[in-house]
Structures are given as C-alpha cells and as structure tokens.
Amino acid sequence: MSTIAPVNQPTQPVEPGDGPATTVIKSWKVPIVLGVFTVLGFLLLVVFGRSGTSTMVLSTSSDLIQLPDVLLPTRETGIVVSVLMLAITGVSIWMVQTHRKTPLWLISVFALLLLIGFLAWASADARIPVPGLLFGSLSLAVPLIFGALGGVISERVGVVNVAIEGQLLAGAFTSAIVASVTQQPLLGLVAAMIAGTLVSFVLAAFAIKYFVDQVIVGVVLNVLVTGLTGFLFSQVLAPNAALLNQPPKFERINIPLLSEIPIIGPVFFRQTLIVYIMYIAVAAVYYGIFHTRWGLRLRSVGEHPQAADTVGINVNGTRFWNVSLAGAVAGLGGAYFTLGSVGAFGKEMTAGAGFIALAAVIFGRWDPIRATLAALLFGFASNLQNVLSIIGSPVPSEFMLMLPYLVTIFAVAGLVGQSRGPAASGKPYLKS
C-alpha cells in the first residue's frame, strides 16, 4: 500500500523519534481516490439527484422476525452521504499530513456510504430487496471464491495458477456427468475435485518436471480444457442429455436458529451444501496457511525454495501436492456451476470466472480472506446489476454491468497499487 521500503525513496521525510520500521511516507493516493469518488458521488447523488422515496426491504416473507422496511428520502440521503464522504476525505487528508496511514476500516466505511447513497439513488420510488441482493451476490461469488482459494494455495507454494478457468470448467463438466449417472450430487462433488486435481497434475508436471513457463502451461491448459469439454459436450453429452447431463441439484439446507437471524440468516444460512463447504474451506485455508506447519512449509517453498531445501523440505514434492490440492479446491467451485446454480453443463459455462478469480487472488494480495472478500465484491457488483435491471434503473444496463470492472480498476490502481506475490512464484526450482 503506501509503505515502501525507505531505500527506494531517499527524499522521504522521516519523523524524528520514529524508528525506521514505522516510517510511513506521505502518499496522497488514498485521499486523491477518495476525493475523486466524493466528487463523483456529489455529482450523481446531489447535482443529478432524484426525488422520491427509496424503500429498502430487509426481511423476506418467510422470516420469523420481521424487520420493518426502511424508507429513505432519496435526495436527502444523497446529501447526507455526500457530506459524510467529504468528511472522511478530509480526515484522510489530515492523516496523510500527519504522516499516518488512512486505516482500512475508514475506507470501508466510505465505500459502504457510497454504496448506500447509490442504492438509494437508483431505487427512487422503488423497493430494493436487500436480503435477495446479498443472497444472489454470495451465490455468484461461490465459484470465484473456490477458484481464488485454489489460486492462493498454488501461488503461495510457488506455482502461478492461470489454469483456474480450466479447473473450474473440468470440475463443472465431470460433476455433471458423474452426478447424472449416479444421481448422487455428492459423488459429483468428489468427481469435480478429481477433475480439478487432474488438470493440476498436468500443470504441476509441466511446470515442475519440465520447467515449462508456468504462465504458458496455465493459458494452454485453459484452451485444452475448453476444447476437450466442448468437443465431448457436442459429441457425447448433447446426444445423450437425459442420461449424462441432468444432474440432480443440491437442496437448500436451512440451518436451525442461525437461519432466523434477520438479514444475515437468509443470506448466509439458507444455502446449499457447497456453500457451507466453502465457509469451511475459507477458514481452513486461512488457518492452514498461516497457523500450521503445513502452511509454514508451503509459504517457505513459495518465498525462498533454496532456504526451504536447506532445512530439509522437499521443494518439488511440496509444490506438486499443493498444486494438486489447489486444483481440487478449484474443481469444487466448478461443481457449483452444474450442481448448485445452473443444473446442467453448457459449453464454456464458466465464462471467464477463472480469470476473475485470478484477479481476486492478486486483488486480495495472495491472502485467502482478502481474496474471498474481493470475490464477494465481484459477486455483489454482478448481482447489483441484476437487481437494478429488475426495478428499472435510470442508468443504461451496460454501464451497470461495467461497474464492477471499473471499480476494480480504480481500487487496484488507487488503493492496492503494487501487489507483490510470493517471491519465488513462477520460478522453477533446480537443486544446484
């Protein structure tokens, strides 16, 4: 973010009395980005403000505890939000001037305010179902999160995983066939993991044994899996759709008590099994990478393979098995397409989700939790467009569809900046 090693910036002002470890250079990036968004927000919400009343529906009809609808006067909400955003920008400028970093929570509050203002503006004289909006966002984010977790594991161990798209697609394809034939969605899930692992095997074999550039293998594997599944779909699946391409979908499971919490319950605890597995996977990958011996070894191989080798860790073995694990995790995400949402395999049905997951990995700076949040952001932005197109937004739908990608560019350029992956990621290890 804005902490750069002092070596690169010899002219930076160092505060007297501060140790070199805590020096923060004056970076105006955050205030500038916040300022730009404040001006844009002001233009949209106040200058081009709309009058009317926005209704936020907080409860679904099946909830035990019914929350009343929140009524927001559209124009006044816009004014209040703009003033608050201006205040946060001011605080950020003040913090930079006193050599402090703008805390992440303040930026998050800013984003939340902007979002509330925008939702109110877009839904003047209309109703926005908040639980539905969030529920859909989570659903769209599930494959992205699995893919991003696969990417994090693989890159942390030192193998660049561009093949997430291929792993997702292979998982979707295999799970559709296996679940259709056996009528067991659980078996489909296992098959998806195996398929993702197989794609990973190829990636690992070429990258680790034959020292082929990892990006090349990744890109080519995506093309290979697209071609294979497309070919088999037209030749085998499409003519025998009833037998091979009608997988049973997972049923939704309501978790007792938890699913009755207002807003949170319907969003998080009335999901299918795959989503619950995802919660566990995120927690497990986070805990595993940062708090277990396995994770320490994995990270050391990704950061400094020679040092890891010196202390007796089998570098290439560690890489091989963890890349395979990454494939299994990503494969689970593929199963969500066929067993969770769509219900049948279609040609190229992942439609670039693997690349979005890759972006989430880098956006989340190779951290499982952050990558998950980035994936959720993509899911939210895509679903926002769906919801707004139903209630009839004044913005052309293409611009709404563009929004998540624009926000990502702004966020990556303005807030994340130079993202540095694991040091040895992408480099083959040769024992010398």
Partner 1 sequence: MSAAQQPTTTPAAPTPAGPDEPSRWHNVFREITTGNAIISVLAVVLALLVGAVMIAFTNDTVQETAGYFFSRPGDLLNAVWDAVSGAYSALFQGSVYNFRRPSFADGIKPLTETLTYATPLIAAGLGVALGFRVGLFNIGGRGQMLIAATLGGWVAFAVELPAGIHMVAALVAGVIGGALWGGLVGLLKARTGAHEVITTIMLNYVAFYLVSFLLRDGFLKTPGSNNPKSPATKETAVFFDLLGPNYNLHFGFILVIAATVFTWWLLGRSNLGFKFRAVGENPNAARVAGISVSRMYIYAMLLSGGLVGLAGINQVLGTTTSGFGAGIDSGIGFDAITVALLGRSKPWGVFAAGILFGAFKAGSFSMQAAEGVPIDIVLVVQSLIVLFIAAPPLVRAIFRLPAPGAPRRRPVPNVTQEVAAK
Residues that bind partner 1 (CB under 8 A): 29, 206, 210-213, 215-217, 219-221, 223-224, 226-228, 230-236, 304-306, 352, 355-356, 358-359, 362-363, 396, 398-399, 401-402, 405-406, 408-409, 412-414, 416-419, 423-424, 427-430, 432
Q: How far is the CB of 425 from partner 1 (least distance, A)?
A: 11
Q: How far is the CB of 51 from partner 1 (least distance, A)?
A: 25
**Cβ distance to partner 1 smaller for residue 206 or 268:** 206
**Cβ distance to partner 1 smaller for residue 182 or 226:** 226
**Cβ distance to partner 1 smaller for residue 111 or 263:** 111
Distance CA 77, CA 227 (A): 51
Q: How far is the CB of 222 from partner 1 (least distance, A)?
A: 8
Q: How far is the CB of 294 from partner 1 (least distance, A)?
A: 22
**Cβ distance to partner 1 smaller for residue 215 or 255:** 215
Q: How far is the CB of 414 from partner 1 (least distance, A)?
A: 7
- Is the Cβ–Cβ distance between 360 and 144 less than 8 Å? yes
**Cβ distance to partner 1 smaller for residue 271 or 425:** 425
- Is the Cβ–Cβ distance between 408 and 359 less than 8 Å? yes
Q: How far is the CB of 428 from partner 1 (least distance, A)?
A: 6
**Cβ distance to partner 1 smaller for residue 54 or 350:** 350
Distance CA 398, CA 386 (A): 11
Q: How far is the CB of 35 from partner 1 (least distance, A)?
A: 16
**Cβ distance to partner 1 smaller for residue 281 or 424:** 424
**Cβ distance to partner 1 smaller for residue 59 or 222:** 222
Q: How far is the CB of 381 from partner 1 (least distance, A)?
A: 11
